[in-house]
Structure 1
Amino acid sequence: MDFKVSSLLFIAILCLISSTSTAFNITKILAQYPEFVSFNDLLTQSGLAKEMSSRETITVLALDNSSIGGLSGRPLDIAKRILSAHVILDYYDQIKLSKLKKASTIVTTLYQASGAADDRQGFLNISRTAEGIKFGSAVKGAPLVASLVKPVYAQPYNISVLQVSEPIEAPGIENMAPPPPPAAVPKKAPAPTAKSPSKAPAPSKVEPSTPTESPTEGPVAADGPVADVPTASPLADAPMADETTAEAASSQMHAGGAVVVIGLLACMMGF
């Protein structure tokens, strides 16, 4: 029993979610009201009906057949701009309008979302006045031209349709050029960089090398020719000098010995 109750509750919740998230069809909604046939036709012809149906939350300021005549004779692109400023990107019904805390409230329209609006042309001014709720362009100095006539349709909080007394035209909106189609942005060529003149490498300063003295070599003059170096060093000649001295001493000893022997012989012969 509990399982069946839980299943039924789950199905009811799904149905509730699906009903609130279902996209609305503004053409079918307005088709129920013959007084908005001309307004509905303009929305379809301009493509606004399709754009509006893709939104989750909007408020449509609708014009009846008697007040839309001025827009029907204009070029379709101009009529589209003006009518897109009648689509508020938020939910407002008569109850919410009556509870506005501020005397004037600025709201965003579908025309602002198109990217073609200039200055504040894509915004509307909703004001509470002594005569009731009034609407006008949010462009500085623009008057409040339309009055709230009656609520037409509401599906909280997705779509609300309110009837207004006359079209709301932002100053200069008729002279606005349509936005150009997006084009591929060409890639910019890299800017040439100025080449700085190449500098010759600075001459390196070579310090004169300090001559090193070798024990077996004579000194080398810094700026003069190399001095002659004797082939034999004093150390190499030292042993030869000692041998010569020894031979001379030996000869002298032999000569002295011979003199002594001769003297002795002479003495012996004299005796």
Structure 2
Amino acid sequence: MTSKRILVTGAGSGFGEGAAIGLAQAGHTVIATVQISPQVTELRKKAAELGLEENLRVEKLDILDAYDVDAAVRDWDIDVLWSNAGIGQSGPTAEIPVDLVRQNFETNVFAPLTLAQKFIRKWIDAERTGKVVFTSSMGGLFTPPWFGSYVATKHALESFAESLREELRPFGIKVQTINPGAYLTGFNETLAETAFKWLDDEKNFNKRAQVQAGFDELLGGDEGRLDPKEMIDAMVRIVPENTGKFRNVVPAFVEKMLHESQATAWDAEI
């Protein structure tokens, strides 16, 4: 495979960090971006320790900071934009504060869309091809209880990605999503904790113990705590490729579950 110039957002931890390192080790030129300056120092140190200073460049890019975004689009010449940064808010949909839902959409939907639009325009103006990859989720394709806010952002991202895929085909710009299962990166566990910042047994009709039991059921078993190396290896393969599936669900048993879930949804009753 030809070496690609790849911009990765959300590379300060988890999948983003692991795959940015893996892509650099595979010979690609990677701009690994992180939200805050201390993360820059830490990841640059790791790059140096791994001997990757030549092709793993670490920079600050807060995707909610318009100045960061404009500088990135102006200064960085890339072949692939991988929008991986994201946050999560959880809790009962009937009671979650709507300002938290807005915050979730700002980071997971509006910011990635803005960044994609800007790089797409740059490529088109230069009469160049390119590729946009969005990190979605298994939750972009079904909705478990208590995770409505987070997975709604991923459903929205799926819709934008699917629209972009067709709209950009005449320009030679490709679009993909990556849909991880429940891997043990710490993200899902932290996501589950967000509900308890505001959930109050004296105010809310959904009780903390009930919500916690739901989280434990979804994330407590082996299928909710998968080894992230499998997903990182898949990302290193998928992100730079010139061909492949539009939607990439990993692992295979989650893809099978999603197919079954979507099929049975047609017969679901209230």
TM-score band w.r.t. shorter chain: under 0.3
Structure with the greater alpha carbon radius of gyration: 1
The answer to which structure has the higher helix fraction is 2
Query: Whose relative contact order is higher, 1 or 2, with alpha carbons under 8 Å and at least 6 apart?
Result: 2
TM-score in terms of structure 1 length: 0.25
